[in-house]
Amino acid sequence: MTSVGVLDKVMAILDAFADGSTRLDPAAVATRVGVSTPTAYRLMGAMAQHRLLDVDGRTYGLGSKLLELGSRAHRGVDVRAAALPHLRHLSTESAETVELQIRTGHRRVPIEMIVGSRTVRTAGELGVPLPVHVGASSRVLLAWLDEEQAMRLARESADELPDHPWDPEQYLTRLRLVREQGWEYSRGERDPETSAVSAPVRDRNGYVVAAVVVSSTLTRLADEAHRTAVIDLVRTAAHAISTDLGHHTDAPLEATP
């Protein structure tokens, strides 16, 4: 149990279906969970509004939101497993720090990282959300979404981080460029001393499910020869991971909805 009582009750209600029950009424759930029937009614009604439960008359079943979240979690595990050997090779060849990032809402999250071998190198934190309106990988993760949705997510991110201002028109122009060229390069956006190159990872259905990112110092990636080599390496790694996930080059490229 945690110190958040409501969360504990919500989880207990979900666990009430763990025995294989497909439909339960609030009274039955109240008995299993150890809460009053009115409390079960109230919580289960709220959970149904968030699609954690599905309501049909007086009974409830597990909701479609759980299937959606489970699919995303499974996808993240699959992507990480497929990506790891390619990320290691990419880091060895570039000597730079390599990340695999996924998007969750209006944030992006590193789910794997190989720290570079350079004496001076960049490093982030696994699982720590990052803004989705700044950085090379942000545009890679948004570029294949519907433009209206992509810009809405970027605005939500920007509203949370006023210290990282953005220009919507320039951002939209960059999204279109990323779609055209298939990769992105950023210079000093989140940190004035760092730079990054990113390319999309696609699943068997052509959805962009992750971004491969190489981050480095601003000075190193400002060197055209090194930057060109890193771009080629990043694109090759992203393509190899996509292939391992079942993507074929003739499949349509879209972003995860």
* Position 165 pLDDT exceeds 80: no
Q: Is pLDDT of 252 > 50?
A: no
Cβ(99)–Cβ(84) below 8 Å: no
Q: Do domains 5-62 and 68-255 have the same CATH topology?
A: no
Contacts 24+ apart (CB under 8 A), 61-69: 61/17, 61/22, 61/23, 61/24, 62/14, 62/17, 66/14
State pTM to two decimals: 0.68
In tens, the pLDDT along 100-125 reads 999 888 888 888 889 888 776 676 77
pLDDT of residue 174: 93
Report whether 103 contacts 129 (CB < 8 A): no
Task: Quote the strand ranges of the chain, DSSP E.
Answer: 53-56, 59-62, 97-104, 107-114, 130-131, 184-187, 194-202, 207-217, 254-255
Fold of 68-255: Beta-Lactamase (3.30.450)
Q: What is the mean pLDDT of the chain?
A: 86
- Tens digits of residue pLDDT in 74-92: 555 578 888 999 999 999 9
pLDDT for the residue 256: 47
Tell me the CB-side half-sphere exposure of residue 36, using CA atoms within 13 A. 3
Report domain extents, the chain: 5-62, 68-255
- Supply the pLDDT for residue 149: 92
pLDDT in tens, 223-250: 899 999 999 999 999 999 999 988 876 5
Sign, CA dihedral 108-200-183-115, equals positive
Report which of residues 257 and 184 the model is more confident about.
Answer: 184
For 5-62, give the CATH class. mainly alpha
Kindly state the average pLDDT of the residues 191-208.
88
